[in-house]
Amino acid sequence: MENATEAYCEAFSTPEDPVLRAIYRDTQLHQPFPRMISGHLQGMLLQMISRMLRPERVLELGCFTAYSAICLAIGLKEGGLLDTVEVNAELEDVIRANIRVAGMEDRILLHTGDARELIRQGRLQGPYDLVFIDGDKEQYPEYYTLVFDLVRTGGYILADNVLWGGKVLEEVKTSDKETGGIHLFNTMVRQDARVVQLLLPVRDGLMIIRKLDQPTLKG
Ligand SMILES: C[S@@+](CC[C@H](N)C(=O)[O-])C[C@H]1O[C@@H](n2cnc3c(N)ncnc32)[C@H](O)[C@@H]1O
């Protein structure tokens, strides 16, 4: 989205919650690669989706500073739980502090480690109503394969950055593993008769995937 359009969208959306705003600012000031954070508009979208679905169980792959985890946890059903996974152990203190400030300690459970390993070891058990994929871009195809059986029938998978700055529109170089991973993920989803999906051109591209009860014909 162009900057002017994005500014207009922000101006006419409900302002960012002060706690989320503080987390965003702190992330910009103190983290390397702060652009990885979801931010206001996408955070509001995640909150809206979660509030609409009222999930009982959510799984997030790629916590970073817990901005998106907090947004998704806002819509949890009473007594619901969000499992979030972060491979970078150096982020643990920041994540725990942000969860505490947001008052979400009873709703968000942090798992430190490689999400792929934790799933393979059976340490993240489904069924989940909603999974948010936002880890390493090269690993997206693997995440999709691994989480699929953890999502309940009729449940949803969201995947961030599926446009990857527009790089997926160009011919993918074999050396560019991240664009290759995203493009392969998008292709896998398109070819998967077990789901219906919508690729939204929001921010860096957000894919919304619904796991079907019955396989359906798709082009
Ligand atoms: C784009 S950031 C997540 C942003 C966050 N979800 C948000 O919207 O604010 C990606 C994060 O995934 C983490 N990550 C990368 N590979 C991972 C893996 N295999 N398992 C768990 N976390 C991973 C990175 O360390 C990084 O913090």
Q: Which two tokens stand for residue 209?
A: 């995937």
- Structure-derived torsion over alpha carbons of residues 31, 136, 118, 60, reported in degrees to the nearest 10: 70
Domain definitions of the chain by residue range: 3-211
What's the rounded Cα separation, in Å, for the pair 10 and 28?
18
pLDDT digits (tens, 9 = 90+) for 24-68: 999 999 999 999 999 999 999 999 999 999 999 999 999 999 999
The rounded Å distance from CA 193 to ligand 1 centre is 28
Surface-to-core class of residue 161, CB atoms within 10 Å of its CB (0-12 exposed, 13-18 middle, 19+ buried):
buried
Q: What's the pTM?
A: 0.96
Least Cα distance to 211 among 152, 169, 138, 124 occurs for 152
Which residues touch 41 (CB under 8 Å, ≥6 apart)? 6, 9, 10, 13, 202, 203
pLDDT digits (tens, 9 = 90+) for 189-202: 999 999 999 999 99
What's the rounded Cα separation, in Å, for the pair 197 and 166?
19
CATH architecture of 3-211: 3-Layer(aba) Sandwich (3.40)
The rounded Å distance from CA 88 to ligand 1 centre is 8
The residues lining ligand 1, judged by C-beta closer than 6 Å to any ligand atom, are 36-38, 61-64, 67-68, 85-88, 114-116, 134-136, 139
Residue 45, Cβ neighbours under 10 Å: how many?
Answer: 19
